[in-house]
Amino acid sequence: MRQSLRRRFAQWLEQRIPPARSITLNQRRIFILPSRTGVFFAVCLCVMLLAAINFQNNLSYALTFLLATLFVVATLHTYGNLAGLTIHAVHARPAFPGQHTEFELLVERGRRREHVGLSLHWPDSSVVQVSLLGEDRVRLALHAPVGRERGWYKPGRLVVESWYPLGLLRCWSLVDLDLPALVYPQPLASAAPPGVASADHEGSSLPQPGNDDFYGFRDYQQSDSLRQIYWKGLARGRTLQVAQYVTHTERSAWLDWEMFAGLGTEQRLSHLCYWALEMERVGEDYGLRLPGVSIAPGRGELHRDRVLRALALYGRGSPA
């Protein structure tokens, strides 16, 4: 029964406050009810009213109605403290499974009205208090743990609430910001696969046959050019040798899906994620090959993020 009610409420809330990158709070998106202090205050008003009726005391009547009027005025001010606010989704930092990530928001007021003591949080995030007094907008960051699965993580509905000015009422809204965080695969160490194990981490280039730099001597072969023969050495009585020249080219490695044949999808992605981070750490060029995905070798922060994004979204699609 309880789950059915929650499901119906979620469906109703989905229609009333659909997901969006920016949401402005109005009367359709704001809820208000007495707080515990407000309920106690209302009970006290009822007791005072019964006492005034019983003793027919005009001063008791006046005090009771005065406090009731205060409750009504507090209702209008509490609602007005949220009305007109616009919440913008700015950025969500990627993270690895189980880590905390940062969700960046922008809170903006639509009219020249001050907003005091606003509280914003997701169900599992830290709580941030903010007030808009002398400024029209303010940026803030909420930190929340991401899930254990790779792909897009949605933190749920953002709770925006206020008890201003007297704490007698709680005014809140459940905002569904379209702000998912990207969760990378969990890095999983493994022995270096072929193509990575042969990488020389002490240098940034490998010698290839060419004609740029002198590399050394080797014995003459029938296909060698006469211009490469080391005539001075032959004149000194050495065997017939030729000089070798090389061209140094940048070394790069391919992180290929088939390097970990026989493993499951998630294990393959975890191993590839580990080696992408390892190659980036040592400053080597590396590319990525997945079924239907190919990223040319490169290095740097942007290249690393592109590779990790491809690993995180493999088989999961991309957000709308």
Domain ranges of the chain: 2-183, 184-204+252-320, 207-250
The pLDDT, as a whole number, for residue 226 is 63
Which of the four pLDDT bands, split at 50, 70 and 90, describes residue 60? Answer: confident
The pLDDT, as a whole number, for residue 107 is 92
Letter string b/e over residues 71-97, b meaning 16 or more CB atoms within 10 A of that residue's CB = beebbeebbbbbbbbebbbeebebbbb
| Range among 52-61, 210-219, 263-272 rated most confident | 263-272
How many other CB atoms sit within 10 Å of the CB of residue 305? 13
Distance from C-alpha of 170 to C-alpha of 234, rounded to nearest angstrom: 98
The pLDDT, as a whole number, for residue 98 is 87
Q: Tell me the Ramachandran region of residue 292: left when phi exceeds 0, alpha when psi lies from -120 to 50, beta otherwise.
A: left
Mean local confidence (pLDDT), 42-51? 91
Distance from C-alpha of 28 to C-alpha of 24, rounded to nearest angstrom: 10
The pLDDT, as a whole number, for residue 7 is 85
The answer to which of 23-27, 162-166, 195-199, 229-233 has the lowest mean pLDDT is: 195-199
The pLDDT, as a whole number, for residue 93 is 93
Distance from C-alpha of 306 to C-alpha of 270, rounded to nearest angstrom: 16
Which of the four pLDDT bands, split at 50, 70 and 90, describes residue 206? Answer: very low
220 has pLDDT over 70: no
Spell out the residues 6+ positions from residue 142 whose beta carbon is closer than 8 angstroms to its own.
102, 103, 105, 120, 121, 122, 125, 126, 128
199 has pLDDT over 70: no
φ, ψ dihedrals at 208, nearest 5°: -130, 150
Q: Which of 68, 80, 70 is nearest to 32 (CA)?
A: 80
* Residue 110 in tokens: 């639509």
Which of the four pLDDT bands, split at 50, 70 and 90, describes residue 248? Answer: very low
Which of the four pLDDT bands, split at 50, 70 and 90, describes residue 269? Answer: very high
15 has pLDDT over 80: yes
The pLDDT, as a whole number, for residue 270 is 92
The pLDDT, as a whole number, for residue 207 is 42
Q: Which of 96, 93, 92, 94 is nearest to 269 (CA)?
A: 96
Which of the four pLDDT bands, split at 50, 70 and 90, describes residue 73? Answer: very high
The pLDDT, as a whole number, for residue 203 is 39
Distance from C-alpha of 196 to C-alpha of 215, rounded to nearest angstrom: 25
- Rounded to the nearest integer, the mean pLDDT of the chain is 83
Which of the four pLDDT bands, split at 50, 70 and 90, describes residue 132? Answer: confident
Instruction: Classify residue 127 by burial, with Cβ atoms within 10 Å: 0-12, 13-18, 19+.
Output: exposed
Distance from C-alpha of 168 to C-alpha of 305, rounded to nearest angstrom: 48
Single-letter residue type at 197: A
198 has pLDDT over 70: no
Return the half-sphere exposure (C-beta side, CA atoms, 13 A cut-off) of residue 289: 9
163 has pLDDT over 80: yes
Spell out the residues 6+ positions from residue 140 whose beta carbon is closer than 8 angstroms to its own.
104, 105, 106, 107, 120, 128, 130
The pLDDT, as a whole number, for residue 110 is 77
The pLDDT, as a whole number, for residue 230 is 64
Distance from C-alpha of 247 to C-alpha of 216, rounded to nearest angstrom: 13
CB contact at 8 A, 64 and 51: no
250 has pLDDT over 60: no
215 has pLDDT over 70: no
36-55 helix and 58-80 helix, angle to the nearest 10 degrees: 160
Q: pTM, whole model, 2 decimals?
A: 0.72
Spell out the residues 6+ positions from residue 294 whose beta carbon is closer than 8 angstroms to its own.
287, 288
21 or 316, which is more confident?
21
The pLDDT, as a whole number, for residue 124 is 82
Stated as kind and residue range, the H or E segment containing 276 is helix 265-282
202 has pLDDT over 60: no
CB contact at 8 A, 295 and 280: no
Instruction: Classify residue 178 by burial, with Cβ atoms within 10 Å: 0-12, 13-18, 19+.
Output: middle
Distance from C-alpha of 121 to C-alpha of 25, rounded to nearest angstrom: 16
